[in-house]
Amino acid sequence: MSQEPAISSPKPAKPSFQDEYSRGIHRMTAVFDKSKELSQKEPLLAEAREALSKFTYGGLKKHFAVNSPYSLEKEFYADIISSNAAAVVRMLALKGQEDAAKSFLKDMYHKASAEGFTRDRSFIPNRLDSRILMPMRNMIDGGFLKEIGFQHLDNALLCLGDCQTIQLAERLRDSLPLRGIDFMAYQHNLGSLVESGLADLFQLAGFFHFVNAAADYSIWAGGESHREQHLKEMRSMVEWLHKTKVRRSVFVTHVFFGVDNAVQYNKVVRATAIDAVTKFSDEVAAILSQAPNARLINFQEICPLTFGSEAFRDNPSGSALLHFRFEIMEKVAKQVAGAFSKLTA
C-alpha cells in the first residue's frame, strides 16, 4: 500500500495535536523497523505509554463531542491514541508478551466505550482497529473480536486501504448508520489480512476501497517494471471478494496524485506517471468492475485530472501529493454513502 507522508492541513490543527500525531506515527513505524534490535526499540514502549497517559478517550470526548463529525483535528487526536496503542502492542508482542498485549487492547476498547465511543455510535473504535488489527492479526480470534465490541462478525463492512480509505470510512459511518452491520477498518493491504487468517473470522456484507493503485505503481513500488504486479494484486482482490460472496463492493477508482511533483521530486518518469493516472487506472477499473455486486465511483468525474498541486491539501512543494482537499473528499463520501445506502435493505 502507499506510504503515508505527514498530513498537512489548509487550516492547521492545534500544534500540540499535529506535533504529537507526527511523533505517534513515527513511533509506530519505528517499532516495525526490522533493521533494529529489540533493545534499540525498548525506549519506544515507555514513550508510547507516556503519550497514552496524556491523550486519552476522556480527552477526546472533552475536545470533540461523542457524535461530532469528521475533522482533521479529531483525526489527529484519535490517531495519536491509536498509533501509540499500536506501538505498545507491537513491542509487547516482540517481547513475547501476547497475553499482556491482548489485555492492554481490551482495556483500550473498554475505555473508549466508557466515554461513549461505542461501535454502534462512533467510528473511534474503528480508528483503533485500523492501527492494531494488522500487528495483532496472527494473535487474535473471533472471541477476542467480540470482546472488543464486534457484534456482527457474520455481517461486516470491511474498509481496507490507506489513510484516505479510513478517512472516507469515518465519514461514511457518520452519515450512514447501518443497523446490524459491523464496520471493520484495516489500514494495510489485503494480503496481510488474508494470509493471517483474520479474514476468515468474519463474513462480508460490504467492502470498500479507495484505490490508490496509481501512486503505488508510479511513486512507491518500482514504476513500469512493476505495472503488471499491481494489476495482479487487483485481480487477486476480485478473486477473494468472489469467495466471500460479498453483497456490495464499492471502489473509488481513477485516483490520481501530484504528477508534476512526482516527476520533479521523486524522479518518476513522466510517461510512467501519466500512464498511472490514465491508461493504468482504466485497466484497474476494468478489473475491479468484475468484483461481485461492484459499484465503481470514478474520482476524476468528481475531481477532474490535473497534474499540478491545486487539488491537494499537502504542502504544494511536497514530493508526494496524495491527500485531497476536504471539500473534494466530502463529495466522494456522499457518493460512497449512496452506494451503500441499500446494504441493509
Query: Residue 15 — pLDDT band, cuts 50, 70, 90?
Result: very low
* pLDDT surpassing 80 at residue 166: yes
The stretch 153-159 carries a mean pLDDT of 95
- 152-345 belongs to CATH 3.20.20.70: no
Q: Where in the chain are the domains?
A: 1-150, 152-345
pLDDT-derived band at 255, boundaries 50, 70, 90? very high
Q: How confident is the model at residue 176 (pLDDT cuts 50, 70, 90)?
A: confident
| Greatest mean pLDDT among 63-67, 263-267, 289-293, 339-343 | 289-293
Alpha carbon distance 145, 260 (integer Å): 44
Mean pLDDT value across residues 256-266: 96
Residue 220, pLDDT score: 81
For the cut 70, the answer to whether the pLDDT of residue 9 exceeds it is no
Q: Band of the pLDDT at 10, cuts 50, 70, 90?
A: very low
User: What mean pLDDT, rounded, does the chain reach?
Assistant: 92
DSSP string, 126-154: HHHHHHHHHHHTTT--HHHHHHTT---TT
How confident is the model at residue 226, as a pLDDT?
86
* CA–CA separation, 93 and 115 (whole Å): 27
- Beta-carbon contacts of residue 206 (< 8 Å; ≥ 6 apart): 156, 157, 158, 181, 246, 247, 248, 249, 250, 340, 343
Report the distance separating Cα 80 and Cα 76, nearest Å: 6
Q: Mean pLDDT lowest for which of 26-30, 67-71, 175-179, 296-300?
A: 175-179
- Is the pLDDT at 13 greater than 50? The verdict is no
- Give me the mean pLDDT over the 127-138 stretch: 94
Q: Is pLDDT above 80 for 48?
A: yes
- How much is the pLDDT for 16? 65
